[in-house]
Copies of this chain bind each other. A is one copy, B any other.
Amino acid sequence: MDQNSLPPIQTTARDDAVLKALVGFVRAEALQPGERLPTERILAERLKVSRNTVREALTRWEGLGLVERRQGSGTYLKAAVSPDMLHMPLTLAGGNDFTSLMHTLEIRRALEAEAAALCAERASPADIAEIKRKLDIMEQAFRTRDGMSSEEDWEFHQAVYRVSGNPLFEQIIAAMHELFHRFWEHPLGVRDFGHASFPYHRTIYECIAARDPQGARAEALKLIATVEDDLKRGAAKLKLSSQT
């Protein structure tokens, strides 16, 4: 028996229905992020549902960062919504510890390599020019400040993700990038963090320009490897200093 031929039946799903209705409302009214949506009391009345149910639904959206509630003021849209959104709640144990950061780097290694390869396959001449532009900006920032600039560096990588043609790359890595940012604000003592990764940005670009997916993948892996190395050195230093 194919067990897919007997899917579980769906009997009640009030708050899900509320969210679905709300998606429809937002689209019908063409609400933009920042605008206020109806009060809980009005939603409850219009949807013929108790205010509690409305609140449970909105709590879910708030947890997903789609909406922001301000007591006494109202509930405001925080991001665009679409009928079939894919929710991906990621939870990391421990904020700044070495292990969590290594985990994010393992994910980034996988995605960065794939994105670079796809990018090399699909980049149009205009795309290549755009990536080159970001590369130049980054390299100049590096020279004038004699150090990696996380801002310009990030712009370069974003351009690569975008050209890969798959928006998921940018969105997933962007979420983890925030985590890394916190880490960079509190440097672990590795003064030249990211220094070693610098040359690989150009080699990645060159492979993309040459339409060499395998080469781009290899260079991306080398880049991540340098970051992992920096991280390990930082962790070693930290361990040392904490023994004082």
Contact = CB atoms under 8 A, between A and B. Distances in A.
Contacts of A100: 86
Contact of A111 (B52, B80, B107, B184): B107
Contacts of A28: none
A159 to B, nearest CB: 18
Contact of A4 (B59, B82, B168, B184): B184
Nearest to A87: B91
A32 interface: no
A64 B94 CA distance: 15
7 contacts: A7-B185, A65-B91, A82-B95, A86-B176, A88-B91, A88-B176, A89-B89
Interface of A: 1-4, 7, 52, 55-56, 59-60, 63-66, 79-80, 82, 84-96, 100, 103-104, 106-107, 109-111, 113-115, 118, 145, 147, 149-151, 166-169, 171-172, 175-176, 178-179, 184-185
Closest 3 CB pairs of A and B: A110-B114, A86-B94, A88-B175
